Amino acid sequence: MTNLQPAEFDSHAAGYDGGMGNPLKAMAGENLDDFVAVKVRWLLRRWPDLATRADLSILDYGCGAATLPRLLRAAGVQARLTGTDVSTGMLAEARRTWPADSPPPAFHVQDGVATGLPSDSFDLIIISAVLHHVPLNQRAAVYQELHRLLRPGGRLVVFEHNPWNPVTSYVVAHSPIDRDAILLPPPEVKSALSTTGWREVRAGHLMFLPPRLGALATAAERLFGWLPMGGQYAVTASK
Ligand SMILES: C[S@@+](CC[C@H](N)C(=O)[O-])C[C@H]1O[C@@H](n2cnc3c(N)ncnc32)[C@H](O)[C@@H]1O
C-alpha cells in the first residue's frame, strides 16, 4: 500500500524530537523519551502482564518515530509490535533510530486512516498524540479502523494532550509541530468511542508534574490519576 500524498509530519521527521525546542517542554523533561516513558510506565502499571506475555500483539497507530514501541521493548515487553503512520518520513526515522540489537516492529505506511492490516489482529492498540493531528471529519473513521483491527476482548488506549491543563495548552500553542493541531478534551474522546460501538470506555489522567521529577511525578500520578487536570490523559476502551 502506498500513501502518495506527502504527509504533514514528513517535514518534521529528520531528527524528530517531539517539539523539544519549546523552552517550557525542555524544562519539564530532558528529551522526548522522558515524556513517552511516562505513558509506558502508565501502561505497565495498568497491565503488568504486558511485560511477560510474548503471545500478545500490539499496534501503535500513528507511531511516528516509534518512540513508544522502542521504550516498551526497553521496558522488557516481548509482544509482537507493529507501527503504522501516514508519514513515510516518520516511518523512515523510526527504522533509522531503532536499536540495532533489537528486532524492529513491522512498519506499515497508511493510506489515509486505513492501515490495510487484517481485522481482529491486535490485543492492544495504542494511539498516542495522533488524534489532535487528524482533521475533525476523519476522526470517526480512525475510531472505526481501530475497532476493526482490535480482537474481540482487546484493549484500546488513546493518549492525548489535555487542553484543560494550561501548561499543555501553552506548549501546544507554541510548538511548530502542533501548528495545525486541534486538541480534544477527554469527554470528546469518551463520547466518540461510546457512540461508535466501544465498551468500557474510561478516562485516566497523567503527567501532573514534569517528567524530570521522576519518582515524585509518578507518585503524583498515583494520587491524582482521577483528576482531569494532568498534562496528558488516557481513554481506554474494549471491543
Ligand atoms: C506528534 S506525532 C506522535 C507520534 C507517536 N505516536 C508518539 O507518541 O511519539 C503525531 C504522528 O501522527 C501521525 N498522523 C497524523 N495523522 C495520522 C493519521 N490519520 N493516521 C495515522 N497517523 C497519523 C503523524 O504522521 C505523526 O507521526
- Per-residue pLDDT 10s for the chain (239 aa) are 444 457 889 988 988 888 898 888 899 999 999 999 999 999 999 999 999 999 999 999 999 999 999 999 999 999 999 999 999 999 999 999 999 999 999 999 999 999 999 999 999 999 999 999 999 999 999 999 999 999 999 999 999 999 999 999 999 999 999 999 999 999 999 999 998 889 999 999 999 999 999 999 999 999 999 999 999 999 999 99
pLDDT of 17 reads 87
Q: What spacing in Å lies between the alpha carbon of 237 and ligand 1's midpoint?
A: 20
C-alpha cell of 41? 510506565
Q: How far is the CA of 231 from the centre of ligand 1 (A)?
A: 18
DSSP state of 203: E
Is residue 12 within 6 Å of ligand 1 at its C-beta? no
User: Under 8 Å CB-to-CB from 222, ≥6 apart: which residues?
Assistant: none
* Nearest by Cα to 127 from 145, 111, 108: 145
Give the Å distance between the CA of 190 and the centre of ligand 1.
20
Ligand 1 atom having least distance to the Cα of 138: 19
Query: How is residue 148 annotated by DSSP?
Result: H
For the Cβ of 82 lying below 6 angstroms from any atom of ligand 1, the answer is no
Q: Are 233 and 203 in contact (CB under 8 A)?
A: yes
pLDDT value of residue 112 = 96
Distance 87 CA to ligand 1 centre (A): 8
Residue nearest to atom 21 of ligand 1 (CA): 62
Question: Which pLDDT does position 2 carry in this prediction?
Answer: 44
Q: Which atom of ligand 1 is nearest to the CA of 64?
A: 27
Q: Is 171 in the pocket of ligand 1 (CB under 6 A)?
A: no
pLDDT for 21: 87
Alpha carbons within 13 A on the beta-carbon side of 26: 8
Q: Establish whether residue 94 lines the binding site of ligand 1, counting it when its CB lies within 6 angstroms of any ligand atom.
A: no
Q: What global pTM score does this model have?
A: 0.95
Q: Which of 3, 16, 130, 183 to mutate to test the pocket of ligand 1 (most atoms within 8 A of CB)?
A: 130
Contact 129 CB / ligand 1 (< 6 Å) = yes
pLDDT at 235: 98
* Strand, coil or helix: 59: strand
7 lines ligand 1 (CB under 6 A): yes
Q: What is the pLDDT of residue 39?
A: 98
State in Å: Cα 88 to ligand 1 middle.
Answer: 11
C-alpha angle 136-10-185 in degrees, rounded to nearest 5 = 30
Q: What confidence score (pLDDT) does residue 136 get?
A: 95
Q: Name the β-bridge partners of 203.
A: 235
Tell which residue, 134, 144, 83, 95, has the closest CA to residue 112.
134
Pocket test for ligand 1, best of 17, 42, 86, 158 (most atoms within 8 A of CB): 86
pLDDT at 5: 58
Contact by Cβ (8 Å): 69, 63 = yes
- List helix spans (H) across the chain: 23-28, 32-46, 67-74, 88-97, 139-149, 166-173, 186-194, 215-224
Q: Under DSSP, is residue 111 helix (H, G, I), strand (E, B) or coil?
A: strand
